């Protein structure tokens, strides 16, 4: 394995970054300053963004390697008595919070950024707040972050076959919303003299169950959306007709159409409110997607495929802003956010080779 990738992976994973991402950002910024001649910027949000100009001078095109350095809170066994992250290597895998999501591939991207010989402007970005809905990515985009292409280093390994690092050309988004039903309170012994908010909410749930979730196909990869009622809250006492009831809806969105949840507002006393809307991603540059797939195929045995991911990533925000994105990384399904999170060191090394090959193959348009 590439020694630089391995050492950097271990350093990143051992650096806590769930409650406060400052230390991880400091590490990334300092490593880039020590190891590259890039122009490095740390914005007000804490994002670390670095730029390298091509040897032949500036171009209008840019390619970004994009990750994030925040993680979800660790499980008890992932921290020691002093509160430091535990990092353990067993059977060719590195265990610890953030190994798969996503400090292993983040390290691979950083070393590839250092070692590449780009023909277009090369950008490295590690965002904060990805686990909080893409806070850092949104801030960077609002400040003008707009590369032509981006490889987002979230997990794409094991989708087409175990151990194969695929290239995700699309992923679902998530729209979380609430249905707020109001009525008129009254005594439960005289229900006809009140307007039961739970009944109105139940009628709204029936509308949700009747809706068909949209589907989409992106570069031959199929995505199916979904709708699910996940929470309901209403009522104050067993003998009181409730005047309020709230229902939570989890909607997995696909590029293109959305489910017509606004239809619930046809029911008297029901309002629909969007709480979170993480955009889906669709790669709109087939040639770029094919180039990344070629790099992935050259870096491993087996036959990687262009696939779709079920989870939202920062690629959704970038694609929405006009960047042609793919997702390619070492994380495997079922590893992220678990108490036994781990990553294959061989696959992290493979990702370094993929990122390096992609950067070196991109030519100015």
* Residues 248-278: tens digit of each pLDDT: 999 999 999 899 999 999 999 999 999 999 9
d(CA 245, CA 355): 50
Average pLDDT over residues 324-351: 97
Q: Which of 50-59, 100-109, 344-353 has the lowest mean pLDDT?
A: 50-59
Sequence-ordered list of residues with C-beta below 8 angstroms from that of 355, at least 6 positions apart, any chain = 65, 108, 109, 112, 113, 116, 151, 153, 328
Q: Give percent of the chain with pLDDT exceeding 90.
A: 96
Is the per-residue pLDDT at 84 higher than 90?
A: no
d(CA 85, CA 14): 5
pLDDT of 79: 94
Residue limits of CATH 3.40.630.10 in the chain: 3-172+280-361
pLDDT of 365: 78
pLDDT of 57: 65
Is the per-residue pLDDT at 2 higher than 90?
A: no
* Residues 115-129: tens digit of each pLDDT: 999 999 999 999 999
The H or E element spanning position 62 is: strand 62-68
Residue 166 banded pLDDT, cuts 50, 70, 90 = very high
Residue 82 banded pLDDT, cuts 50, 70, 90 = confident
Nearest to 275 by CA among 139, 170, 179, 149: 179
Residue 53 near residue 120, CB atoms below 8 Å: no
Is the per-residue pLDDT at 56 higher than 80?
A: no
- The b-or-e profile of 70-83 (16+ CB within 10 A means b, else e) is bbeebeeebbeeee
d(CA 9, CA 302): 25
Return the C-alpha torsion angle 100, 106, 107, 112, nearest 10.
Answer: 130
Average pLDDT over residues 21-47: 97
d(CA 326, CA 315): 7
* Average pLDDT of the chain to the nearest whole number: 96
Residue limits of CATH 3.30.70.360 in the chain: 173-277
Residue 344 banded pLDDT, cuts 50, 70, 90 = very high
* Residues 274-320: tens digit of each pLDDT: 999 999 999 999 999 999 999 999 999 999 999 999 999 999 999 99
**Residue that the structure tokens 């987002």 belong to:** 152
**Residue that the structure tokens 């209008």 belong to:** 60
Residue-by-residue DSSP string for 239-288: TEE-SEEEEEEEEEE-SS----GGGGGGSTTEEEEEEEEEPPEE---HHH
pTM over 0.85: yes
Residue 356 banded pLDDT, cuts 50, 70, 90 = very high
Domain 173-277's class? alpha beta
Residue 170 near residue 151, CB atoms below 8 Å: no
Q: Give percent of the chain with pLDDT exceeding 70.
A: 99
d(CA 319, CA 325): 6
CATH 3.40.190.10 at 3-172+280-361, yes or no: no
What token pair was written down for 75?
């499980």
């Amino acid at each position: 394995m590439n020694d630089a990738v391995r050492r950097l992976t271990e350093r990143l994973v051992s650096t806590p970054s769930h409650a406060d991402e400052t230390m991880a950002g400091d590490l990334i910024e300092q490593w880039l300053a020590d190891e590259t001649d890039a122009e490095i910027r740390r914005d007000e949000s804490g994002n670390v963004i670095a730029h390298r100009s091509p040897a032949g001078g500036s171009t209008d095109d840019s390619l970004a390697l994009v990750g994030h350095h925040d993680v979800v809170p660790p499980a008890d066994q992932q921290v020691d008595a002093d509160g430091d992250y535990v990092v353990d290597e067993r059977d060719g895998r590195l265990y610890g919070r953030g190994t798969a999501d996503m400090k292993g591939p983040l390290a691979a991207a950083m070393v590839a950024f250092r070692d590449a010989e780009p023909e277009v402007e090369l950008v490295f970005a590690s965002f904060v707040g990805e686990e909080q809905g893409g806070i850092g990515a949104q801030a960077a985009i609002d400040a003008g972050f707009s590369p032509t292409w981006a490889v987002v280093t979230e997990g794409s390994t094991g989708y087409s076959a175990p151990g194969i690092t695929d290239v995700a050309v699309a992923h679902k988004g998530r729209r979380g919303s609430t249905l707020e039903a109001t009525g008129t309170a009254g005594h439960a012994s005289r229900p006809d003299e009140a307007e039961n908010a739970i009944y109105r909410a139940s009628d709204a749930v029936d509308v949700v169950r009747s809706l068909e979730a949209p589907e989409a196909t992106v570069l031959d990869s199929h995505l199916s959306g979904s709708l699910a009622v996940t929470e309901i809250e209403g009522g104050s006492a067993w003998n009181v007709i409730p005047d309020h009831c709230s229902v939570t809806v989890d909607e997995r969105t696909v590029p293109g159409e959305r489910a017509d949840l606004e239809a619930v507002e046809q029911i008297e006393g029901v309002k629909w409110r969007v709480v979170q809307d993480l955009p889906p991603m669709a790669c709109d540059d087939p040639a770029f997607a094919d180039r990344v797939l070629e790099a992935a195929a050259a870096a491993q045995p087996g036959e990687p495929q262009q696939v779709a991911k079920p989870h939202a990533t920062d690629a959704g925000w970038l694609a929405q802003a006009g960047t042609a994105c793919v997702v390619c990384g070492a994380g495997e399904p079922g590893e992220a956010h678990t108490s036994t999170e781990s990553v294959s060191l061989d696959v992290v090394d493979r990702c370094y080779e993929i990122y390096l090959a992609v950067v070196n193959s991109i030519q100015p348009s």
